């Protein structure tokens, strides 16, 4: 069992303010940087890593040093996990920063490299967890590069979060239901995963139940933000079941992991959205090492989604 760090209410609030500054600092600096050339460097589990990721990583490390200089614990980034070993002590190792330095790399490198430079649909994402389990996340924040917004949240009780948009409290009662549209539109993620027929089966099952499925925007955190923005009604990610191993038995496919959604997950909960795994169970048990079959949805459509997807999940789980 993972050791869980103890955080006071004052600790949690202080971390919230610091992490909000970190994501904004990294995002603003990235947007203001003129890149002479952006190129891919290598592929990792279906993801292409680029020189842009390296820059975002350096900016993130600098921001952590600036705003959390005394942080003691594990820092888990997207592609290259590392520890600040010089500051760790055994009693503090359970505290984790879960980071995606740039969620939406493809969107960003294309937006920055095009003949007309545009704002990318992407985010800078950081969460603080009291252990390596998602269920112990206490603070989360994302900075959206397309709109300069900060969506953040802090734990205020057991499985209870207070969510903010640019420092203002978000009222979950105003976000519970679809506004201005009679159809339920859902994002079905299949990013960098070759199992297109299984994705099509999933979309067909959802269509049969009256949903309108779409691919999304190539950045999972932004797909979730787009539920809060009223663009989608659910984010459905079943890549956990869509595996392909190479000749050495190592995974080749891209699947959802904690760093992809940790920064936005508590905000989704704070906005009243339902968050479960593919079988409708609490996602609290998943760790930094797990791939996650995830559903984030407006509460009034969760059961219909689970009913639609259950036969496929049962088949894929065999």
Mean of pLDDT values over 310-315: 98
- Same structural domain for residues 110 and 243? no
Could you give the 3-state DSSP secondary structure of residue 22?
A: helix
pLDDT tens digit sequence for 284-300: 999 988 999 999 999 99
- Same structural domain for residues 257 and 150? no
In a domain, 1, yes or no: no
Percent pLDDT > 90 in the chain is 80
pLDDT band at 93, cuts 50/70/90? low
Query: Does 100 belong to an annotated binding site?
Result: yes
Query: Does 103 belong to an annotated binding site?
Result: yes
Amino acid 89: pLDDT? 42
Lowest mean pLDDT among 5-14, 17-26, 255-264, 293-302: 5-14
Say if residues 56 and 124 touch (Cβ distance below 8 Å): yes
d(CA 62, CA 41): 22
Closest by Cα among 316, 296, 314 to 134:
296
Mean of pLDDT values over 4-21: 93
- Same structural domain for residues 118 and 187? no
d(CA 200, CA 274): 24
- Same structural domain for residues 88 and 222? no
Pairing mode of beta strands 184-189, 234-237: parallel
CATH code at position 149: 3.30.540.10
pLDDT tens digit sequence for 271-281: 999 999 999 99
DSSP annotation of 257 reads B
Query: Does 223 belong to an annotated binding site?
Result: no
Number of domains in the chain: 2
| Residue 166 predicted with pLDDT over 80 | yes
Percent pLDDT > 70 in the chain is 93
Amino acid 254: pLDDT? 93
Amino acid 44: pLDDT? 67
- Same structural domain for residues 19 and 166? yes
Could you give the 3-state DSSP secondary structure of residue 158?
A: coil
- Same structural domain for residues 200 and 115? no
- Same structural domain for residues 102 and 189? no
d(CA 32, CA 85): 32
Say if residues 133 and 158 touch (Cβ distance below 8 Å): no
pLDDT band at 82, cuts 50/70/90? very low
Lowest mean pLDDT among 56-60, 106-110, 156-160, 204-208: 156-160
Mean of pLDDT values over 204-224: 97
Domain enclosing residue 145, as ranges: 9-170
Mean of pLDDT values over 97-115: 94
CATH code at position 205: 3.40.190.80
- Same structural domain for residues 157 and 33? yes
d(CA 263, CA 149): 14
Q: How far apart are the first and last CA of the chain?
A: 27
Query: Does 92 belong to an annotated binding site?
Result: no
Say if residues 75 and 288 touch (Cβ distance below 8 Å): no
| Residue 1 predicted with pLDDT over 70 | no
pLDDT band at 87, cuts 50/70/90? very low
- Same structural domain for residues 141 and 59? yes
Tell me what the pLDDT averaged over the chain comes to: 92
d(CA 246, CA 199): 21
pLDDT band at 56, cuts 50/70/90? very high
Closest by Cα among 288, 259, 256 to 53:
259
């Amino acid at each position: 069992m993972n050791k869980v760090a103890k955080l006071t209410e004052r600790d949690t609030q202080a971390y919230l303010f610091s992490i909000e500054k970190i994501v904004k600092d990294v995002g603003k600096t990235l947007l203001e940087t003129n890149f002479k050339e952006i190129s891919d460097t290598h592929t990792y589990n279906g993801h292409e890593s680029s020189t842009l990721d390296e820059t975002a990583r350096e900016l993130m490390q600098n921001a952590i040093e600036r705003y959390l200089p005394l942080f003691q614990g594990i820092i888990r980034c997207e592609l290259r996990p590392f520890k600040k070993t010089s500051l760790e002590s055994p009693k503090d190792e359970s505290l984790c920063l879960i980071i995606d330095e740039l969620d939406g790399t493809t969107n960003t490198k294309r937006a920055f490299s095009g003949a007309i430079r545009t704002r990318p649909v992407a985010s800078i994402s950081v969460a603080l967890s009291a252990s390596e389990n998602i269920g112990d996340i206490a603070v989360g924040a994302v900075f959206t590069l397309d709109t300069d917004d900060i969506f953040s949240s802090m734990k205020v009780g057991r499985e209870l979060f207070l969510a903010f948009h640019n420092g203002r409290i978000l009222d979950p009662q105003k976000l519970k239901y679809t506004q201005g549209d009679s159809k339920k539109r859902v994002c079905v993620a299949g990013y960098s995963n070759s199992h297109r027929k299984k994705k099509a089966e999933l979309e067909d099952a959802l269509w049969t139940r009256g949903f309108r499925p779409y691919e999304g925007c190539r950045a999972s955190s932004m797909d979730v933000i787009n539920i809060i923005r009223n663009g989608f009604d659910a984010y459905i990610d079943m890549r956990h079941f869509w595996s392909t191993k190479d000749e050495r038995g190592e995974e080749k496919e891209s699947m959802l992991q904690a760093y992809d959604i940790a920064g936005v997950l508590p905000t989704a909960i704070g906005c009243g959205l339902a968050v479960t795994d593919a079988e409708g169970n609490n996602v609290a048990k998943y760790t930094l090492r797990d791939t996650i079959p995830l559903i984030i949805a407006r509460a009034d459509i969760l059961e219909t989604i689970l009913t639609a997807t259950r036969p496929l999940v049962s088949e894929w789980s065999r």
